[in-house]
Structure 1
Amino acid sequence: MKKRHLEIMDTTLRDGEQTSGVSFSASEKLTLAKLLLEELEVDRIEVASARVSDGELQAVRQITSWAKEHNYLDSVEVLTFVDGGVSLEWMKKAGAKSQNLLTKGSLNHLQHQLKKTPEQHFSEIAAVFQEAESKGIINNVYLEDWSNGMRNSKEYVFQFLDFLATQPVKRILLPDTLGILTHTETADYISQITKRYPKHHFDFHGHNDYDLGVANVMEAVKAGCHGLHLTVNGMGERAGNAPMASAVAVIKDFLPEVEININESSLFKVSKLVSAFTGLSIPANKPIVGENVFTQTAGIHADGDSKNNLYFSDLMPERFGRKRKYALGKMSGKANIQKNLQELGLTLNNDELKKVTQRIIELGDKKERVTKEDLPFIISDVLDADSKHQKVFVKSYVLTHAKGLMPSTTLAMEIEGESFEANAQGDGQYDAFMNALKKVYATKKISLPKLVDYAVRIPPGSTSDALCETVITWEYKGKEFTSRGLDSDQTVSAIKATEKMLNMIAT
């Protein structure tokens, strides 16, 4: 059985731009238009509303100029209005040739917003279509508030569709303008229309106010619609539109009767670029494109992945240009750690793995996220600490830093079972800690090593909450040696490195 081709129209650059606080520059619009058509391979893009501004006109001109040169001009669409031909003149200036004419799809909108009869509205629409044809412009038509029209004034909707069946219209666009449809209503309404008008092309334009956008998309396709309107990251007014990535995955996995052109491997790339241009972050748990959606956190899941892929589904990350990750934290367990070690090319024996696992669990209790890049630092810290028999313990300390006052430290420690306390000031918190430490060791008539070098490192690509490793080089009795400390707080990691040094000189 031959599959039915389903057109995907992306309206990120028009309807998506109605997201509160979002406005694309002309260069951003051109960049995204190229990416959507050439790399993501959507069938059509809706790029602007006519008459909005001079800046919008210039942006559309740039897109249509490029599209004409690369044979995409028929795929570039502009929202227009029943305004006596003003929108059509704007389109001609912009170089566009496909209009999506906004009309009234419910009797409520027609009577209370336009205050016109159906016959008056249809007559004005027919005049727009006639003028568009004379200018070589393709006619598509939106039935605004169509979903409420089907609920509350179905006779009007079919009267309108009967009229459109006589007009030079390429596509009829059916929007759930306020996102009010349930999936059963979507299936029913689209099915009634496609059966009554089998020779006409119908697009479904879903909004997500009840978080039913993808469910409604699925039912619209099953009911016979010929095209879908989607936005990258589900951008759009209020709760946004049906999201591109989720809809594409659902269509490819659950609707074998249709085929789409979309290049799935580009979905994540486009999603990240739109996020960068808009400044709107992608929720970490957003399906397909969220940071965490291909990350296994529980150790039992990582273990299952190693045993016949027990926790895999058809949503494989490689489909979308991504990789599966294994989170490190208090829930991870040895299986997650082994997966990350394999990626880094590191191996540990069972005893070492157990100690590293315990340390990661401890860090997970204090720090939300431990990354793969943290692992070498953690391994070094754990195995280094394990190699020394501890005789010196820094039991407690208070670090203070206030504007206009010198930093100070109060320190409590234990040396071979004997307790000590000291307080000191310094040029910084760590300097104050060292001065307090010197006071303690002065009572024992022991000199401390000289600090030769102090280096702080964080894993590449880490953020401000990253683990940091402090590596301190010391000189003691004519020899140099180093000690390391690891913590999410830089001063604490330096104190840990110092505690290790104290145990090294005590052996």
Structure 2
Amino acid sequence: MTKNSSPQIWLYDTTLRDGTQREGLSVSIEDKLRIARALDELGVPFIEGGWPGANPKDVQFFWQLQTEPLKNAQVTAFCSTRRPNTTAATEPMLQAILAAGTHWVTIFGKSWDLHVIEGIKTTLSENLAMIRDSIEYLRLLGRCVIYDAEHWFDGYKNNPEYALQTLTTAVKAGAEWIVLCDTNGGTLPHEISQIVSDVTNHLKEVKLGIHTHNDSDTAVANALAAVMAGATMVQGTINGYGERCGNANLCSLIPNLQIKLGYQCIEDNQIALLAETSRFVSEVVNLAPDEHAAFVGRSAFAHKGGIHVSAVERNPLTYEHIQPEQVGNMRRIVISEQAGVSNVIAKARTFGIELNKQNPATREILEKLKALESEGYQFEGAEASFELLMREALGTRQLFFEVKGFQVHCDLARGKEINNALATVKVAVEGKDILQAAEGNGPVAALDAALRKALINFYPRISEFELSDYKVRILNPNAGTNAKTRALVESRNGQQRWTTVGVSANILDASYQAVVEGLEYGLMLNVGAPHECAVHII
């Protein structure tokens, strides 16, 4: 099957809405924007941004995207149908979704008569009116509507005639897509296949989508079954994040659909970004990556010792179902000194740096990277630190300043809320030692303020830098108070954002590393060279 004749599957990512309902996962507006831009680069055509009528953070997210739109993806706002016994025109939730300013909107309605009667306590006919009125109102105001049929499969199994009525109502009201949702995640693949086939026979020439949850550990299999039965939109999340047991994992669905089944989801050069995107999102949401995840996990193409290694070295097909490079991953053979060189070379190229395997600097970068990773560093979500690491090995890292020492003092009183912290730093700039102190509402803020105060006279543009996000992860919690900490600091200058990382058994030291590199990287961006020109290494 040629690429041009491959049937199209439309990807719909709901990481920023359904994914954030995972227990223990929390994101800021900046986090959501970073993830949205990564999904845009990946080539996902639909990105669900959130529910602006229910979450003030989501309102700000949509406002931000109105001033800084994505390059390619359609961002959708999410909402329910109007409430019983009201009108769509007077429904505050629908006004909020309109204010989000998206061309596409997604609304969900009830498919299961149990939910209609016992959940929202209304009549079956009023539920149909809610679906019809909401969609017609949004269409009247120029919006394209994706209709999510909530609890569809449970509703169909309980009362197929009424469940189909809800879909027919949505189609007649003007919905562009009908998405069948396995909201409770209890349906199995053979049931999905049969029910989706029933719907395609009942609703001729309607664009169908599938939205599956993973409560039975079959979300990916269910989505694949739905596609093979006629669905042409697949909804899911990066890394399968979601409420309870999660959603269908797009990091597994995309390669299964495109590489295994021959559907067209994204471009081949974009699917090669899949592993990087998976790790990037895990770092942004501050959750440890699943190293054993299919396709994108660090161990997905790892081989160690014995028969496997010798076989893979002769022919990778012996123990690999696809080429790891297809999804942006890499083969890892523990005893091979060549493992990882290609990834370093490819990553360097994204920073305008041309490396080759013969250059000693390439090996030095790789060995340094391995050593730091073993200490707990993670560079997928902190590419600014990785670029600084590379430039140091190449001798092109500029020394803007040198921190000679710092102290942080916090005022703490039992039973009283005292947030003041005082940081003192000593830095050397252009041969001069500068000693400065500053206060902040915490030790990291105070340290950041003291560094800026010491550097501002030498680098005035440092006033434009902002510390926009700060995350800490305990890497070995079993060690108690001796645990090692990884700190991620995101900075911005109004046009660009960058993230740096520090690791230490001392949380302040880890934070200090990340803050210092954040300032250094921002200065490098403002100075221009060597970052804005390609560095060719022979």
Relative to the length of structure 2, the TM-score reads: 0.59
Residues 294 and 317 in structure 1, CA contact (< 8 A), matched pair in contact too: yes
The corresponding residue for 1:261 is: 266
1:196 aligns with 2:202: yes
Q: Secondary structure at the match of 2:200?
A: helix
- The residue type equivalent to 2:273 in the other structure is S
* Cα deviation digits, residues 175-222 of structure 1 (max 9, x gap): 100111111001001111112212111110011111101111111110
Structure 2: distance between partners of 1:342 and 1:223: 41
* Cα deviation digits, residues 412-465 of structure 1 (max 9, x gap): xxxxxxxxxxxxxxxxxxxxxxxxxxxxxxxxxxxxxxxxxxxxxxxxxxx999
- The residue type equivalent to 1:147 in the other structure is F
Closer, same or farther in 2 for the Cα pair 1:305/1:189, shift >3 Å? Answer: same
* C-alpha RMSD of matched pairs (Å): 2.6
Aligned runs of 1:297-312 on 2, under 5 Å? 297-309=304-316, 311-312=318-319
- The residue type equivalent to 1:88 in the other structure is L
Structure 2: distance between partners of 1:172 and 1:6: 14
The corresponding residue for 2:38 is: 35
- The residue type equivalent to 1:204 in the other structure is I
Q: Secondary structure at the match of 2:107?
A: strand
Q: Secondary structure at the match of 1:306?
A: helix
Residues 183 and 212 in structure 2, CA contact (< 8 A), matched pair in contact too: yes
* Cα deviation digits, residues 383-435 of structure 1 (max 9, x gap): xxxxxxxxxxxxxxxxxxxxxxxxxxxxxxxxxxxxxxxxxxxxxxxxxxxxx
1:245 aligns with 2:251: yes
1:274 aligns with 2:264: no
* Cα deviation digits, residues 438-493 of structure 1 (max 9, x gap): xxxxxxxxxxxxxxxxxxxxxxxxx999xxxxxxxxxxxxxxxxxxxxxxxxxxxx
2:61 pairs with 51, 59, 62, which one?
59
- The residue type equivalent to 2:76 in the other structure is V
Q: Could you list the structure 1 runs, at least 4 aligned residues long, displaced by more than 6 angstroms after superposition.
A: 341-344
Identity %: 27
- The residue type equivalent to 1:340 in the other structure is E
The corresponding residue for 1:24 is: 27
Residues 171 and 178 in structure 2, CA contact (< 8 A), matched pair in contact too: no
Residues 77 and 104 in structure 2, CA contact (< 8 A), matched pair in contact too: yes
Q: Shift of the alpha carbon at 1:71?
A: 5.9
Q: Shift of the alpha carbon at 1:249?
A: 1.5
Closer, same or farther in 2 for the Cα pair 1:371/1:97, shift >3 Å? Answer: closer
Residues 33 and 63 in structure 1, CA contact (< 8 A), matched pair in contact too: no
Closer, same or farther in 2 for the Cα pair 1:170/1:283, shift >3 Å? Answer: same
Structure 1: distance between partners of 2:128 and 2:338: 68
Residues 65 and 95 in structure 1, CA contact (< 8 A), matched pair in contact too: no
The corresponding residue for 2:464 is: none
Closer, same or farther in 2 for the Cα pair 1:150/1:125, shift >3 Å? Answer: closer
The corresponding residue for 1:109 is: 115
Closer, same or farther in 2 for the Cα pair 1:310/1:55, shift >3 Å? Answer: closer
- The residue type equivalent to 1:17 in the other structure is T
The corresponding residue for 1:340 is: 337
Aligned runs of 1:62-461 on 2, under 5 Å? 62-67=64-69, 70=71, 72=73, 74-83=74-83, 84=88, 85-256=91-262, 258-261=263-266, 263-309=270-316, 311-327=318-334, 337=335, 339-340=336-337
Residues 255 and 327 in structure 2, CA contact (< 8 A), matched pair in contact too: no
* Cα deviation digits, residues 275-308 of structure 1 (max 9, x gap): 1121211222111222211110232111112223
- The residue type equivalent to 2:265 in the other structure is I
More moved, 80-89 vs 4-13: 80-89
The corresponding residue for 2:46 is: 44
1:6 pairs with 6, 9, 20, which one?
9
Q: Secondary structure at the match of 2:318?
A: coil
Structure 1: distance between partners of 2:18 and 2:370: 40
Structure 1: distance between partners of 2:274 and 2:282: 12
Residues 51 and 97 in structure 2, CA contact (< 8 A), matched pair in contact too: no
- The residue type equivalent to 1:49 in the other structure is W
Structure 2: distance between partners of 1:318 and 1:266: 9
Closer, same or farther in 2 for the Cα pair 1:241/1:93, shift >3 Å? Answer: same
Structure 2: distance between partners of 1:343 and 1:77: 40
> Number of matched residues?
339
Structure 2: distance between partners of 1:97 and 1:162: 23
Structure 1: distance between partners of 2:210 and 2:127: 22
Residues 171 and 200 in structure 1, CA contact (< 8 A), matched pair in contact too: yes
Closer, same or farther in 2 for the Cα pair 1:93/1:209, shift >3 Å? Answer: same
Q: Shift of the alpha carbon at 1:241?
A: 0.4
Structure 1: distance between partners of 2:43 and 2:339: 36
Residues 222 and 255 in structure 1, CA contact (< 8 A), matched pair in contact too: no
Q: Secondary structure at the match of 2:179?
A: strand
Residues 64 and 76 in structure 1, CA contact (< 8 A), matched pair in contact too: no
Structure 2: distance between partners of 1:179 and 1:139: 24
The corresponding residue for 1:366 is: none
Q: Shift of the alpha carbon at 1:312?
A: 4.1
Structure 2: distance between partners of 1:249 and 1:124: 38
The corresponding residue for 2:388 is: none
Q: Which runs of 5+ in 1 are unaligned?
A: 328-336, 345-369, 375-462, 466-507
Closer, same or farther in 2 for the Cα pair 1:18/1:304, shift >3 Å? Answer: same
Structure 1: distance between partners of 2:255 and 2:311: 24
Closer, same or farther in 2 for the Cα pair 1:371/1:218, shift >3 Å? Answer: farther
Structure 1: distance between partners of 2:339 and 2:294: 27
Closer, same or farther in 2 for the Cα pair 1:372/1:40, shift >3 Å? Answer: closer
Residues 301 and 330 in structure 2, CA contact (< 8 A), matched pair in contact too: yes
Q: Which runs of 5+ in 2 are unaligned?
A: 342-366, 372-474, 480-538
Structure 2: distance between partners of 1:219 and 1:16: 22
Structure 1: distance between partners of 2:56 and 2:315: 59
Q: Secondary structure at the match of 2:146?
A: strand
